[in-house]
Amino acid sequence: MIGGGIAGLITARELGRQGLRVVVLEARDRLGGRVWTDHRLGRDLEMGGTWLHWVQPHVWAEVTRYGLGVTRGPRPEKAYWLAGAEVRTGTLESFMNLIDPGMQALLADTMRWIPRPDDPLAEPDLAAVDGFSLQEKLDELDLPPAEYHANEAAWVGHFNAPLGEGAFTSALRWTAATAGSWHLMHEASAVFRLTGGTRSLVEAIVADTDADIRTSTEASRIEHTADGAVVTTAGGTRIHARRVVLTLPQNIIGDLDVSPPLCAEKLSAGKEKAASQGVKVWIRVRGPIAPFFAYSSAAHPLSVARTEYLGDDDAVLVAFGADASKISPNDLDAVRAALRVWREDLDVLEVTGHDWMADRYSQETWLMQRPHQLTRYLAAQQRPEGVLHFAGSDYANVWAGFIDGAIETGLRTARELGTRLAPR
């Protein structure tokens, strides 16, 4: 197993249950990959993946299996958004009502194009729509300016990318996963989190597997034949395996030295990169404050901000920007300036975050595809190559880019492998 993120750990657990011997190689000194609960700003905060929902079947099964607690942040009492340079305020409901006509129009044909989210390539004419960016489809609607800006802002939050670079089909896949309901899609992607953090999920899976898990062990080379593979670590250790499961994100899978090389589609997707390229920032402000959320635009360093924790004399906000090169999550002054777009009154005390785009073991946040990537690459990204198998949220069918998707692919890969390998 290459990678000790959620996909790798789930695959390892399931293969172990089938009596197979598994070695997990994880380059970082911790497990979890793009989920990482770390103690900062006086609280356990999620640097990466956070929110989950009962409409995400694979992750919810893990919540039930391990009895994990689920909670949510405070309900926003006030909303801020931009209409051009002007800051508008209202209730959460008034913002949702404002974006509703645009959302309905944009997503009207969701089930036509993605009739079965568990089989995202099922529609034979999908390529006809997969070439559009979300920006192009939004522009086609010719919405009044206030509605246009509000819809754009809501999508920038979801895409973590400039909308001109994100595929319209990615928006369709998210919405198809909630049977066409954009309200439920919003809730599923950004409200409920684990009480014990994603750390509690990682620890539960690790306690449930007898795999040989080696952290701080980077795989650097894989040589494979029809009979098996040899994985060489950066430290020079050679490990022989009947099968190898790679769980690396789309953006870095091509960095591995694989001989014979991976198929052209897997490598091309990695070279093009995913559309998502943003940043997540945690911000501690002086309190007490009333919970709020705020949307700006892709052009602003931070396009979404909201209250996630309320204390007696402070509050912690979570914010996202569409372009990690525009703002560092650890730059107090830049974050302070970015918040002033909506609110001059907030007293920013501390900021923190992890730059996933600069992290050589991710170079990605959550997967949002570029136009054409779904129809050109997904099938090939999922396909085994001889003794090499591929798992990872980026290659999921239903909730690709989510924790749920990582589990989906781990379960599938372990089942497929288990039927081919007799226990040793």
Ligand X SMILES: Cc1cc2nc3c(=O)[nH]c(=O)nc-3n(C[C@H](O)[C@H](O)[C@H](O)COP(=O)(O)OP(=O)(O)OC[C@H]3O[C@@H](n4cnc5c(N)ncnc54)[C@H](O)[C@@H]3O)c2cc1C
Return the SS3 of 296.
Answer: coil
Shortest Cβ distance from residue 378 to ligand X (Å)?
Answer: 14
CB of 31 to ligand X, least distance (A): 7
Contact set with ligand X (CB under 6 A): 2-8, 25-28, 33-35, 48-52, 218-219, 247-249, 252, 256, 280, 356, 361-362, 365-366, 392-393, 401-404, 406
- Which helix (H) or strand (E) covers residue 335, if one does? helix 332-339
Least Å distance, CB 328 to ligand X, is: 14
Report the candidate in 165, 132, 138 with the shortest Cα–Cα distance to residue 323.
Answer: 165
Q: Which is nearer to ligand X, 8 or 102 (CB)?
A: 8
Cβ–Cβ < 8 Å for 169, 374: yes
What tokens were used for 255? 């960095």
In the complex, minimum distance from the CB of residue 228 to ligand X, in angstroms, rounded to a whole number: 19
Residues in the chain: 424
Q: Return the number of the residue (190 or 315) whose C-beta is nearest ligand X.
A: 190
> Which CB sits closer to ligand X, 213 or 403?
403
- DSSP-assigned letter for residue 395: G
Sheet with 51-52: list strands edge to edge.
51-52, 192-194, 70-72
Distance (Å, whole) CA 352 – CA 357? 15
CA distance 319 to 299: 15
Torsion (CA) 367, 372, 373, 374 in degrees, nearest 10: 80
Closer CB to ligand X, 97 or 325, in the complex: 325
Q: How far is the CB of 139 from ligand X (least distance, A)?
A: 27
Pick the closer one to ligand X by CB: 371 or 392.
392
CB 112 within 8 A of CB 169: no
Positive/negative CA dihedral, 103, 99, 147, 402: negative
Between residues 149 and 306, which has the closer beta carbon with respect to ligand X? 306
Q: From the CB of 141, what's the least distance to ligand X, in Å?
A: 27
- Which of 183, 159, 179 minimizes the C-alpha distance to 170? 159
Nearer to ligand X, 286 or 415 (CB): 415
Least distance to ligand X, CB of residue 183, Å: 17
